[in-house]
Structure 1
Amino acid sequence: MARPIRIAAAGDIHCSPESRERVEEAFARVADVDLILLAGDLTTHGEPEQAAVLADISRSAKPRIVAVLGNHDWHANRIDELVPLLEDAGVTMLDPGWTTCEVDGASIGVAGTKGFVGGFPDSQLPDFGEPILRQVYRDTTAEVEA
């Protein structure tokens, strides 16, 4: 019988230089898993020095790490710096997208999607109100349906 595949998942880790020790301790506790999934808000405010904390920790992590961005990561509008920084450290970034992870001969599919402002029933902005909010609703709904 095949051994169980162990996956650690977390969101809202909000990395920053001030949180380095906490994040290092969290990664140390899951060092023996097969896969780490990070569900957005990787940084506190989307600054490259905050992503560098996660990048440094990820370089020494044994398990493969797959992540999506969250609203905090977009805040500073520096995604073009954050994503390469994390990818260079070995983190697979999905925004949106999907990947397949191989673990002991088993294929695990991982899909990245948006969840903060739309895409999940009862957890999204309504199709109501100002035109810009209605556009966000349409865009995120289309992304999830794709």
Structure 2
Amino acid sequence: MVTQANNIRFAAVGDLHCTKESAGTLRGLFAQASEAADALLLCGDLTDYGLPEEARVLADELSVVSVPIVAVLGNHDHESGVPDEVRRILMSHADLHVLDGEAVEVLGVGIAGAKGFCGGFGRGSLGAWGESAIKAFVNEAIQEALKLESALAKLRTQQRIALLHYSPIVGTVEGEPVEIFPFLGSSRLEDPLVRYPVAAVFHGHAHRGALEGKTVNGVPVYNVAKPLLQRSHPDRPAFRVLELPRASPT
């Protein structure tokens, strides 16, 4: 652990897509992250098909991590219909939190987490009008935004981080085919970040998106999808490190 007197380091990565055959392939990355940072943030799609067997492999790979871990699930973690089981298995790790509209404090920094959902950005956002299926789709996006807002509202720390799988802004999905932008995130996730500003936002999901962007109020947003990090910086470990100042005594 690399804690220094005046700062705290967070290593963040998403889209691990752990399979039943991934045993032994992620330990090196996790060990490097544990050495480089004081906490590890995981931004969804932790498993490939949302299978309990995959979650057990990932939990075993994470056993090399000696720092706190905070995660959210992604769409792949829901594929097999047992996200609660995936979450339970991962949280068997002694110091791992999987957030779904909750908040946790790590080393004095508040972290709010939710999966998020899709629906589009700005004027391209899907509206709740017409068929009941469309209304249900939009309601899912609204509920995920409310989860994020509820988690942010609970935090009283000087420094705060938001953890998502889907993007809250269009800037970090640019690079993907324009046709699939609406399926990569939602502007509805940005609204809580305006009402409850944070030091940074981390998300994944957009494997061919952009590494970083900003919300309308200037909050940095980092896309830490593992495939994107690997392609953008093949000479570096596939995680991003954010350094925040340690909270001053009150």
Residue equivalent to 2:101 = 96
Looking at structure 2, the residues matched to 8 and 41 of structure 1 have their Cα atoms a distance apart, in angstroms, of: 17
Q: Which residue of 2 aligns with 1:50?
A: 54
Q: Which secondary structure does the structure 2 equivalent of 1:59 belong to?
A: helix
Contact 1:45 1:74 in 2 (8 A): yes
TM-score when scaled to structure 1? Answer: 0.83
**How many angstroms apart in 1 are the aligned matches of 2:130 and 2:74?**
24
Partner of 1:85: 89
User: Residue 65 of structure 2 is aligned with which of 45, 57, 61?
Assistant: 61
| Structure 2 residue 126 is matched with structure 1 residue 126 | yes
CA contact (8 A) 1:126 1:134 kept: no
Q: How does 1:22-33 map to 2 (within 5 A)?
A: 22-32=25-35, 33=37
In 2, distance between residues paired with 1:143 and 1:84? 20
- Residues 24-56 of structure 1 deviation map (CA, whole Å, 9 limit, x = unaligned): 121122122111110110100000110011111
SS across alignment from 1:30: helix
Structure 2 unaligned blocks of 5 or more: 151-250
Quote the RMSD (CA, aligned, Å). Answer: 2.3
Change (3 A) 1:13 1:130: farther
Distance in 2 between residues matched to 1:142 and 1:87, nearest whole Å: 24
| Corresponding letter in the other structure for 1:86 | L
The residue number in structure 2 matching 1:110 is: 111
Aligned pair 1:5/2:8, yes or no? Answer: yes
Q: Which residue of 1 aligns with 2:138?
A: 137
Q: 1:78 to 1:125 in 2, by over 3 A?
A: farther
Q: CA deviation at 1:129?
A: 5.9
1:125 and 1:13 mapped to 2: Cα distance?
28
Residue in 1 that maps onto 2:208: none
Aligned residues between the structures = 140
Alpha-carbon distance, 1:126 to partner: 1.4
More relative contact order, 1 or 2 (CA 8 Å, 6+ apart): 2
Displacement of 1:99: 0.7
| Larger helix proportion of the pair | 1
The AA in structure 2 aligned to 1:76 is S
- Give aligned-pair identity as a percent: 37
